[in-house]
Structure formats: structure tokens, C-alpha cells
Structure 1
Amino acid sequence: MTTESLDRVRMRELFDLRGSYNELTGGHYDGDPYPTWHRLREEGPVHPGTVHELTGRPETLYFQGLPFPDRPHFSAFSYDACMEAFRDPAVFASSPEAVDADPEAGSLGHQSMLSMGGVQHRRYRGLVQPSFLPSNAEWWMKNWIEETVHLLVDGFAGDGHAELNVDFCAAIPVLTITGSFGIPMEQALDIRAALTRDHQKIIDILTPVVAARRAEPRDDLISILVQAELTDEAGVAQRLTDEEIYTFSLLLLAAGSGTTWKQMGTTITALLQRPDVLNAVREDRKLLRPAIEETLRWMPTDPMFSRWVTEDIEFHGQRIPKGAVMHLCVAAANRDPARWDSPDEFDIMRPLKSTLAFGQGSHICLGMHVARGEMTAGINALLDRLPGLRLDPDAEPPSFVGMYERGATAIPVLFDVK
């Protein structure tokens, strides 16, 4: 397997945060929102309005919980308010309508796990969760992550220069998740392009794979789904239908290829901008884990999650009506000085505390351990194989952009060729 089938021009089109694929989530926003978020949090933990409006962006943006112009919107900026909402799914639901009203509901159909709650969510999530536990990290590493990482480094290790954000960071998760589905590399970018625009195209790609795994299972994620059994309230076990497998797959493909690359790029940029910290991590790889965790705190790639309010409540000084959308600005919460000292500083030596970067509660990110594995393997490979890794002083330096999907722009680097 080689990277020749990866169209780098198309990669840049699909993964450019300022490109057309991210325009509707605020990809052109290039300001620093944190001073405004600090001010808002100091004024009160919860405010009427959406996060982007309160940040000074009046345009209509689309993301989870947006735009829904017919509903009242509120935004939470403190750690305590966001954590309280995450931990109360009965009041702060993950979808506009209750999809778990009948615990004996049958087919998953086209209903994503992200929209479920209660019994139904636990049952369906339980089918795939074991594959994403830390104990299975080696399975992901051995089968897909390590090979992908080193294949990509092979493509530029002899050049003395590279652009790491798209040519490296963006490629790792999309090739990992599509590889785990048995989808060949030459179709990986077709999957990425279709995720927001043409789900049927993805289903057409998956259909022969699902049929083949039903006939002859392999050691991959589709095989796990076709063999999974869902036990209903009566104790009767049933296999997932093809439609249910497609719905699971769309969720896992979107999550697996859409966020980790931005977080990895942010981590690499933060280290390259601080050569002393980069050298410390290079010399002591035990520091890589706290460096990744600090980046998740300091600048999470998804700054906001949304929940739908199911009853009239008083919440942190605001009267919230039933049917409102509550936006949880986890990026602001992750810099709450009530929880972290000097929260705007990037400090990999600070005591580790749990953050809200992957959410919390029953809907905490299913693939967070795989994401950490991808970032760890990727950054270790760069430090192992690219001596003298540094930002290219003659190129435009990377900057952080985006409103609801934040990440680094191009990361041009130089390194010594062995």
C-alpha cells in the first residue's frame, strides 16, 4: 500500500478549515474568541443567545443545535454549568424530540446514537463500545494506525520539508477509520467528501463490504457490527439489520475522520511554537500524554456541544423554557479559572484534571481513546523520524481559525534528512 492514491489537491480542498466544506460552521473566523468568552463567563455562567452571536458573529451558522431559528437559544460558559448539563440528560436531551420514549423500540433505522437517550442509547452504544475501550488500543494500533502513520511519513521523510496539517494529520484518522471498515485507500476521500452531502454514496460503498462480512467475517469493525447481537427487553437477541449497520457506520465515519486531525494539528502547532516544550517531549516521551491532554483543555477542536431542554427550569441565573437549545461552550469551560490556574497558558506540567473536550456523561465521545492513540502514534513518529523538526521560518506560520470547528491552518515544517 502506498499514498499515491491520495490526491493531495483534493485533500486540501476537503480538509482546509477555511474552505467551502467548513464555511457553514464558521471556518472563515480567524479571531481569538477566548477574551470574549472570558468576559461572558465573568458576567454570568449562562447567557441568552448562541455562542457565535455572543462572540460577535451575526451570520447564520450551522452545527449541532444550530440554527433552529424557531427556538430560544442559551449558551453556558462556565465549567460547572456545562458539567451539570452533561450529567442531566433527562433535562438536557441530545435531540429535539425524544427518541427513547419506548424502551422496546425496534429498529435503529436512520436514527443516530447521538440523538438517543436512556435505555435505547445504552443498548446500541453497548454493541460497539468494547471495540473502542483502552484495552483494545493495541488492536487499532496494530491493524491500522501504525501502518498508516509510517506510510505517510515515508512519503516526505526524504524531502527535508513537509506540510503536516493536511498531508499528515488529516490523513491519519480518515485512513484509520475507513481501513477499519475494509474500505480501500482510493475510496477514503470519496467517503470524506460524501459525509456532509451524499450519505447514499457512502451506503453504496458499504453495501458490498457488509455483504462480504456477513458471508465471511474478518478482524475489522464491519465484521463486529454484522456479528453484534442486540438483546431487547424480553431477552430476545437479534442481529443488526443492514440499515442499522449503515447508520452506525455513518456516525463512526463522521466522528472518526472529522475531529482528530484538527486536534492533532493543534497539538503539533502548540509544540512547534514552543521549541523548548517540543524538545522536552522529544527527550522524555512520557510528557507526550500530558501535552495532548493540555491541548485538549487549552483548545478543543469542537468548542461547543448542544442540548435540548425538556422542561421549564431555572439554570445558573437564567429562566430556560422547555424546547430551548442550550449550547455548552466547552472551550470556555476548559479555561475556567475556577478550575484551572492561569488557564490561558499552555502548560504541559500542570496537574491533570478531566476536561470537557470529549463531552461528558452518557454521550461522552465513543472514540476518544482511539483519537488519543492516533495522536500519540502520529506525534511519536514525527519525533522519531524527523530530526530537527521545526517550523519553516520562510513560510506563513500556522494560525488557529474556525468558530465551531477550530484548528490550525497549514503547518509548514523543515527537518534534517538522515
Structure 2
Amino acid sequence: MTELGTLDRTRIRELFDLRGPTYALLGGSYHDDPYPVWHRLREQAPVHPGVLHELTGFEGPAMFVGLPEPDREHFTTFSYEACEAVYRAPETFAQWPDPVDPAVGELSPVNSMLFMNGPGHKRYRGLVQPSFVPSKAQWWIRNWVEEAVHTLIDGIVEDGHAELNVDFCAAIPVLTITGSFGIPVERALDVRAAILAPMEIVEILTPIVESRRANPQDDLISILVHAEMKDEDGTVHRLSDAEIYSFALLLLAAGSGTTWKQMGITLHLLLQRPELLAAVREDREALRLVIKESLRWMPTDPMFSRYTTKDVDFYGVHMPKGSVVHINLAAANRDPARWDRPDEFDIYRAQKPTFAFGSGPHVCLGMHVAFAELTTAIGALLDRLPNLRLDPAAESPRIIGMYERAATEIPVLFDAGDRRNARG
């Protein structure tokens, strides 16, 4: 791993600023708290005709998967029960309206495992899932997460101040994912920037895939190249190069965006609650509870969509075949029918499953890696930056965004240390 100095902080800010042009079309200009509106809508009915941002009263640009689709009817679910019913019926509420096969067609995040349905999705997921099970979390931490985290802290530990979104949070998932691909650090931001130009990523990955076929290493590409799965009839399935490239692009698009935003949200919550920060310093098991509660209380992606495969009457609403159903998982995660005092941030509440990582066949594949990144990164900050606190002279962080929510800048102060001896 190289030094942080090789990463262009200005470029990181351009790629990951929710108020910049990259996120503007996702509703980055939405600065209000949507939860009071969502509570009112959920109290009125569990399902409403319409698109989430329009129902919320936001008139700015807010594109996302399933939008705009002007020729389809749109519906949004708000209660936990209704959202769960959508997740549990993939045969009625499909991930995508058309067949998807990453082995053929244009390379893009849409033509990927995320948008596959039925047996094809199950087979593809079975080939890639072994690297993302809970027991593999330490493999990710040992090989890539810890080094990325500590190298980034090395770059700020002597300064006594930092802006954690840019100086820390944003780079960790990118370095973790590209590191697992065998891509050098100096190309990491090039790869992240090329998500909308996937053939540039293929050019970088092609020699790595070819090399790993002949000479496997302890990395993700090697595992994907040699993954096999047998059907009951003995048919052996392997991933084609196109499927490997598709999955790599999906990881970059999904994994490098959500984790840094959730990390910022969690740090925002901790730093604005000194008593909670002190509790976490004393008991690191409390950090896991903080992260779990932050995922319930403020998931970074509040909505995902499905498509009806047939006419369906659903919670008193008729949905024609081909309708788009928007799952407002953020509203579901604060449903008072499931949680007492749902708007309170309480790490000691009774633990129940949430929809922070989705549910059903498409539950987030990388959730255990994301949790490993969050716990390792925030724990290292507390270990290595004594007296970490918000900078009182700077603007306090706020949560903004419609379909991708995140903290604004997180300016902090801490007692400066010696980089050479700070890792302990």
C-alpha cells in the first residue's frame, strides 16, 4: 500500500461530494428531513400511488433505479409489513422487467447480477457468494481493509485536524475493492471514475484476469476466475470473463458508494453525541451496536424498486402488470408497528432485523464486508486519534440527499500524534 499522498484529495471530493454534479441527479440538493413526511404518509396508508421523492414534496432532479420510467405506473410502500411483502414475493415483484444476462450484451451496472431474476440469479450468486460470507470478513480485513485504514490515518495523524469524509471515509471502500482486484493504489480513483465508461475498467482488469487464470493469488479475481458450481445433474458452471467484469463493475458501483456514506453517517452520529462516543471508547462491542442502529435509523440508500410481473391487488391498491414498486426501506425501518420510539437513536433497543441491506434473494451480497470496513475503520480512528471531536469552528455535519443520503463535511480535531509509532 502506498502513502495517502498519491491519492488526489480534490479528485476524491469531486467523486464523492453529494452536493456536486456526480450526485446532483440523485437528489443531492435535498437538504430537509424526510422522515416526518414519510411518517405521515405511512399513517395514511401502507402503500401510495406515486414516486417517493414526489410524494415527499421534493421537486428537484432525483433519478434512481426504477426512475423515471414515465410510461409505467408507480407506487411506493411505507410500512415494514408492506415492504417485507414485496421482498418476500420475487415472483410477483421482480428485480428487473426484462431478462438480464451479464455473459452477453452491453457491460453496465444494470446488466449485472443485481438485476437478474430467478434461477439465473441464484446460480450466478452461488458462484460469487463464497468470498462474501461472514467467515470471510477477516480475510477482507487482513488483506485490504486494515492496510487501507491505517495508511489513510498515517496521512492525517500528525496534523491534529481532518475532514473525515474526504481524508478518510471516501477512499476506504475504493481501496478495499480495487485492492481485492489486484489494481494498484495509484489507479484506484481512475477505476472509480470510470464506472460510467466500463470498457476502461475492462482494459485494466483484462491482464489481471488472464494472469490469475495461470497463476492464482490470494485475491478476489483469482477466486472468481476459478469458481465452480455443480447443478444436481452434474453440470458444472463457471464465470465467463464477461460475467467477471460485470460483477467487478457492480462491486465498484454499489460497494464504493454505500459504505463511505454509511461510515460518514455513523461518525456524524457518534461525534454529535459525546456520551455515546465515550461509551464506545470504553466498550468496543458498543461500536457494533452503534453501526447496527445507524443502519436502521439512517440507511444511506432509502429506496429500491421492483417491477410487477402481473396485475396485483396489494394493500388496497391495484397495481397493473409492469408497474414500478418503490420500497421505502428507510420509512419501514422506523415503523412504530415494529419498533418503540423509532425516531430515537438507541443502541440498546431490542435487536430486530432491518431492511438496511435489503431482504429476500437480493439481500446485499457485500453486507459483511461493509460491516467489517465500518467496524475496522471507526475503531482505528478511536484508537489512533486521541480526543477526536468535531471542530467547533467549522459548520456541523448535516445529512443531505434524497435517494443517496450522506453527511456533509465532517471536520474534526484531535491530539496530533507521531505517525511512525501510532499504529500500536
TM-score, with length taken from structure 2: 0.95
Amino acid in structure 1 at the alignment position of 2:311? D
Counterpart residue number, 2:159: 159
Counterpart residue number, 2:365: 366
1:417 Cα deviation after fit: 2.1
1:60 Cα deviation after fit: 4.4
Counterpart residue number, 2:272: 273
| Structure 1: gaps of 5 or more residues | 100-104
Q: What is the distance in 1 between the residues matched to 2:237 and 2:115?
A: 22
Counterpart residue number, 1:293: 292
Worse-matched range after superposition: 226-235 or 268-277: 226-235
Deviations 1:306-351 (A, max 9, x none): 0001111111121111100000000111010111111111111111
Counterpart residue number, 1:336: 335
Counterpart residue number, 1:185: 185
Q: What is the distance in 1 between the residues matched to 2:257 and 2:230?
A: 31
Amino acid in structure 1 at the alignment position of 2:151? L
Aligned residue runs from structure 1 range 306-321, under 5 A: 306-321=305-320
SS at match of 1:259: helix
- Is this contact kept in 1: 2:73–2:323, CA < 8 A? yes
Counterpart residue number, 2:131: 131
1:108 Cα deviation after fit: 5.8
Cα distance change on mapping 1:108 and 1:228 into 2, 3 Å = farther
Worse-matched range after superposition: 159-168 or 300-309: 159-168
Amino acid in structure 1 at the alignment position of 2:80? Y
Q: What is the distance in 1 between the residues matched to 2:197 and 2:91?
A: 33
Q: Is 1:39 matched with 2:40?
A: yes
TM-score, with length taken from structure 1: 0.96
Counterpart residue number, 1:408: 407
Q: What is the distance in 2 between the residues matched to 1:259 and 1:356?
A: 14
Deviations 1:149-180 (A, max 9, x none): 01101100111111111211111111000000
- Is this contact kept in 2: 1:124–1:230, CA < 8 A? no
Q: What is the distance in 1 between the residues matched to 2:14 and 2:103?
A: 37
Deviations 1:252-283 (A, max 9, x none): 22222110000010000001010101110111
Counterpart residue number, 2:421: none
Q: What is the distance in 2 between the residues matched to 1:374 and 1:252?
A: 14
1:233 Cα deviation after fit: 6.9
1:107 Cα deviation after fit: 3.9
Q: Is 1:18 matched with 2:15?
A: no
Cα distance change on mapping 1:338 and 1:11 into 2, 3 Å = same
- Is this contact kept in 2: 1:392–1:414, CA < 8 A? yes
Counterpart residue number, 1:121: 121
- Is this contact kept in 2: 1:31–1:401, CA < 8 A? yes
- Is this contact kept in 2: 1:60–1:67, CA < 8 A? no
Aligned residue runs from structure 1 range 2-401, under 5 A: 2-99=3-100, 107=103, 110=107, 111-195=111-195, 197-231=196-230, 234-401=233-400
Instruction: Give the % identical residues.
Output: 65
Deviations 1:195-234 (A, max 9, x none): 1x21111111111111111121111011011111244675
SS at match of 1:254: helix
1:405 Cα deviation after fit: 0.2
Amino acid in structure 1 at the alignment position of 2:266? T
Q: What is the distance in 1 between the residues matched to 2:252 and 2:103?
A: 20
Worse-matched range after superposition: 19-28 or 235-244: 235-244
Amino acid in structure 2 at the alignment position of 1:324? S
1:402 Cα deviation after fit: 0.4
Q: What is the distance in 1 between the residues matched to 2:187 and 2:50?
A: 41
SS at match of 1:25: coil
Q: What is the distance in 2 between the residues matched to 1:231 and 1:24?
A: 42
CA RMSD of aligned residues (A): 1.4
SS at match of 2:170: helix
Amino acid in structure 2 at the alignment position of 1:215? A
Amino acid in structure 1 at the alignment position of 2:113? M
Amino acid in structure 2 at the alignment position of 1:397? S
- Is this contact kept in 1: 2:134–2:368, CA < 8 A? yes
